[in-house]
Amino acid sequence: MTLATHIVGVGGYLPERIVTNAELAARVDTSDQWIRERTGICQRHLAAEGECTSDLAAAAARKALKMAGISIEDIDALVVATTTPDLIFPSTAASVQSKLGGVGFPAWDIQAVCAGFVFGLAQLDAMMRAGMFKRVLLIGAETMSRILNWNDRSTCVLFGDGAGAVVLESRNRADGSGGVIGSVLHSDGAHRDLLKAHYGDGAPSNTPDFHTDAAGVAAIEMRGNEVFRIAVKSLSGVVGEVLAANGLTESEVDWLVPHQANLRIINAISKRLSLPAERVVITVGFHANTSAASVPLALSHLQETGKLERGQLLLLESFGAGFVWGANLVRWSL
């Protein structure tokens, strides 16, 4: 029996609190105009005090389960893609499993920063096609606000908190066409210093006195200009690669569902694909870069607009620190 992995539910969650560009301009030397022109970002949502990545993830997962018309008892694996886990361990997925009332099925995190959801979809698709799981929850969730240096104007304006989730279901290919068609993933660790988040003076694994200095603060550091250039080049390459690998062309793409980091990067990729603006999902303006949550949040937004139709071809792509980058092709089947 040949199996295919279908997306049968999708949900997004953004914390209540909205922080506008004007509010940030009152804190650091920036302006609404600079942020909009350079990034397309107008506002971001920030998690409330005590609200963790797992809370955001569970909220998005509940919506995805509801759309799929199933409950947590029907799920047989749960994966959270995050770079801002609740704790170093146990995994955020373990917390989400508990918050959703699930028991027994495997739950684990994956760390591919902003590309975590795209990596997770590729990983789970392979496992599901091998027959390991029937129904899976894949969630991208982040509280990026907790690892930002709020005095660094070059990074604090770019990120936000949020979560997006999908329910994946494995079906016999003979029961209908559609589902995940294929994925391409890449990494290049040579660029790891261009975008990183350190913890105190280092990280849990390389700070000898970590246990005596538990008050270390995490913060993102980025050489934005270089990241921008490599992101455009890498994403342009991988979207072409995934289409060619699956015998498809740019003109067949109905929706580009890109990583929502910067409107100028998204525009460069849509131009590369010759896609008109109305075929590109853009949500970065209202939630900024939510890292692993950004692609499922964009997908959830697209689904909510009611424009998504059965048989349409979706191209998902993302790029993150490492660098890591990848793309998935999905034939919508609902």
Catalytic positions, written as ranges: 114, 259, 289
Q: Give the per-residue contact string, 132-161, with ligand COA (x = CB under 6 A; - = no).
A: ---------------------xx--x----
38 binds ligand COA (CB under 6 A): yes
DSSP codes, 256-325:
EEE--S-HHHHHHHHHHTT--GGGB---HHHH-B-GGGHHHHHHHHHHHHT---TT-EEEEEEEETTTEE
Nearest approach in angstroms of CB 87 to ligand COA is 23
Quote the CA–CA distance of 292 and 272 in Å, as a whole number. Answer: 23
Q: How far apart are CA 153 and CA 30, in angstroms?
A: 7
Angle between the 294-305 and 116-129 helix axes, to the nearest 10 degrees?
Answer: 80
Give the nearer residue to ligand COA in terms of CB position, either 175 or 188: 188
Q: Does 290 bind ligand COA (CB under 6 A)?
A: no
Contact between 114 and ligand COA (CB under 6 A)?
Answer: yes
Rounded to the nearest whole angstrom, what is the least distance from the CB of residue 45 to ligand COA in the complex?
17
Instruction: Decide: is 319 part of the binding site for ligand COA (CB under 6 A).
Output: yes
Residue 256 C-beta: closest distance to ligand COA, Å: 16
β-pairing, 218-222 vs 255-258, is unpaired
Nearest to 159 by CA among 146, 173, 177: 146
Minimum CB distance to ligand COA, residue 291 (Å): 7
Residues 268, 270, 275, 281: what is their CA dihedral angle, to the nearest 10 degrees?
-140
Say whether residue 32 binds ligand COA (CB under 6 A). no
Site string for ligand COA, 232-271 (x = CB under 6 A): -----------------------------xx---------
Q: How far is the CB of 249 from ligand COA (least distance, A)?
A: 27
Closer residue to ligand COA in complex, CB, 9/40? 40
**Binding string, residues 47-86; x marks residues near ligand COA by CB under 6 A:** ----------------------------------------
62/90 Cα distance (integer angstroms): 21
- Rounded to whole angstroms, the Cα distance separating 38 from 33 reads 8
Rounded Cα–Cα distance for residues 285 and 292 (Å):
17
> According to the binding rule CB under 6 A, does residue 225 interact with ligand COA?
yes
DSSP run (H or E) holding 154:
helix 153-156
Cα–Cα distance list, 102 to 64, 70, 95, 105, 164 (Å): 15, 13, 10, 8, 19
Q: Which is nearer to ligand COA, 39 or 170 (CB)?
A: 39
Is 199 a binder of ligand COA (CB under 6 A)? Answer: no
Contacts of 326 (CB under 8 A, 6+ apart): 112, 115, 118, 119, 122, 183, 184, 185, 186, 238, 317, 318
Q: What is the biggest distance separating any 2 CA atoms in the chain, rounded to whole angstroms?
A: 60
Q: What whole-number distance in Å separates Cα of residue 71 and Cα of residue 50?
A: 26
Among 5, 30, 260, 283, binds ligand COA (CB under 6 A): 30
The minimum distance between CB 38 and ligand COA, in angstroms, equals: 4
Query: Binding residue for ligand COA (CB under 6 A) from 134, 228, 267, 282?
Result: 228
Nearer to ligand COA by Cβ, of 112 and 299: the residue is 112
Where do contacts with ligand COA occur on this chain (CB under 6 A)?
A: 30, 34-35, 38-39, 114, 153-154, 157, 222, 224-225, 227-228, 231, 261-262, 289, 319-320
